[in-house]
Amino acid sequence: MKLTLFQLCIMLIISAFSLLIVPDFLLFTWQRAGLSVLMLVMTAFCFHWFNYFKVRNFCINGIWFLLTLAYVHSQALSLLTQAEKISSLPNKITLDLHISEILHQQDYQTLVATTSLFDGKEQQIFINWKAPEKPQVGEIWRADVKLRPISARLNHGGFDRQQWYFSKRIIAVGNVKSAVKMSEDFSYRTDFLQNSLKQTEGLSLQGLLIALAFGERAWLDNKTWLIYQQTNTAHLIAISGLHIGLAMGIGFFFARFLQFALPTRVISPWFPLCFGVLIALGYAYLAGFSLPTFRAMMALLFIAILQCSRRYYTPSQMLCLVVAFLLFCDPLMPLSVSFWLSVGAVTCLIVWYRYVPLSIIEWQHQKLSRKVRWILGLFHLQIGLLILFTPIQLFFFNGLALNGFLANLIAVPLYSFLLVPLILFAVLTNGAFSSWYFSNAIAQGITQCLRVFQGSYVPISINLSLILTALLSLIFGGMLSRLYFASQAQTKNTPLKSSRFFTLNHTKILSAKEYKQALLGIILIFSICMSTLGYRYFTKPKWQLDTLDVGQGLATLIVKEGKGVLYDTGPAWQNGIGASSMAELEILPYLQRE
């Protein structure tokens, strides 16, 4: 039995995911891996007489797994080592900062800069920019930087800022109060960005337009962001799979349109695919190859290569290959929440379209038009995400927009087929035909529609999240049970029962064995949720004392019989993103989760 490509991919995936649970002192270096490989070979040599082929295969698999562990863990260890060296540097140091990303530039300024701190290599640092000047991406500034090691408030279930730093390969935090601009290193992307900023100056939703065109949220105001965040539509602002796929589609169909004017002998099926990939690559370049954009572009590029090689893989195999390829490009991706949301969404869609495709339904009395089928397909997609993706959203955010289904139903088509193409047209044509003003008017209309659904966002506790996940698994399990019995009836040549409006298409129904396997998975998820809920209920103490890190000390919470006494609420400040005090940022979310 030889080592297959998928076995190697699974090893790489397991190695990367181990970063979430393995403590730093157990991370594998190349030296440890080499020593372990040597011991493994010696052990295999000693026991080769037992079963040569089994020992050989075990040895080969073990060596490859150790190598994938070393490949992933060595990069994490390198980042940790650099972060630990920060404490040995002077408290204040003069550095040349190359501005690589602006995170916020309104009432206060935060950014990510590249500099050389030690070893002659470039490192990423997070900058709180307190100087009066407003730096731009691509500029180089010389500044006196007050450095400190990265840290985070590790309250239970709260935002792990330290993990976020490492996911962006940031090794230090610095404060800058004065700086001098040394030079500019503007790229074509920066030129496009600066021109677009000038052309959109004065527009009410400038920040949203710039975020959709370049992936830069520095100018996105807090009120607009909250509208999208509290309606489950914030994914539309991050340039990821939806936007890259849309750019690919625009390029593909434009190339197909051009082929109508070409003679038949020069028409190639690969030209639209390659042209679509180039358009998507251009959009990813405009977006600065941010983490979600890079992930989506690499996945699209990998799939295009597989298409050109004429190799067929099932959707689950394709997902495994793409995830492994992404982790090979950047093993630290599992530290990013957006990675889990992207992979989770794609996995949910694969499961939904495999077991409950829309084509499984045949309407009784009439043949539906293409427009009606498209609208039903949109409903079908959103229902699948509502049932399968909601538990993932609850796990990461402990909240849910009750009208999120309707909000996405309205916003996704308008963004996909109207707003984003118009914004791309405005960027490429330098705002010709008042395209920026039309884009702003459309964005205003969509945002106003979403504002109606904003009040439906509800924070949900951990216990209620478990109950909702179990309930949704029962709903999905009920669908699969109906299809399981239909598959059994088909095997026994029994006519399928039909309703007044539709019947099941027997050619699209999977085998009873496949539905049974899926039902076992549903039962496992339901059992985990209920057992976790029962464990939390029966191990709940009569009273407990909690301490919460609130930045300048610890808030103390005494809880008994569902009621609590809180001592100290931490500091407050004038402005901020989503919160104006430590109570809103840390304490209230903790109370809501519990």
Q: Look at the domain 89-186 and name its fold.
A: OB fold (Dihydrolipoamide Acetyltransferase, E2P) (2.40.50)
Question: Which residues is 566 bridged to in the sheet?
Answer: 557
Q: 447-470 pLDDT, tens per residue?
A: 999 888 887 788 888 889 999 999
CB 100 within 8 A of CB 124: yes
Tokens of 509: 């129904």
Q: Looking at residue 312, what DSSP letter applies? A: -
Question: Which residues is 98 bridged to in the sheet?
Answer: 114, 140
d(CA 18, CA 331) in angstroms, rounded, equals 11
Specify the pLDDT at position 367.
63
Q: Looking at residue 581, what DSSP letter applies? A: B
Place of tokens 């509800």: 458
Specify the pLDDT at position 68.
92
Specify the pLDDT at position 186.
66
Q: Which residues of the chain have pLDDT under 70?
A: 1-2, 44, 46-53, 157, 185-186, 363-371, 492-502, 574-579
Q: What's this model's pTM, rounded to 2 decimal places? A: 0.85
Q: 387-399 pLDDT, tens per residue?
A: 999 899 888 888 8
> What is the distance of C-alpha 114 from the center of its chain?
24
Counting residues of the chain whose pLDDT is more than 70, the rounded percentage is 93
State the number of CA atoms in the 13 A half-sphere of 135 facing the CB. 36
Q: Which residue ranges make up each domain of the chain?
A: 5-85, 89-186, 358-402+461-540, 543-593
CB 254 within 8 A of CB 278: no
Specify the pLDDT at position 47.
63
| Helix (H) / strand (E) containing 307 | helix 291-308
CB 342 within 8 A of CB 241: yes
Specify the pLDDT at position 71.
93
d(CA 429, CA 176) in angstroms, rounded, equals 37
Nearest in space to 193 (alpha carbons), one of 272, 276, 126, 105: 105
Specify the pLDDT at position 576.
47
Question: Would you tell me how many other CB atoms lie within 10 Å of the CB of residue 589?
Answer: 20
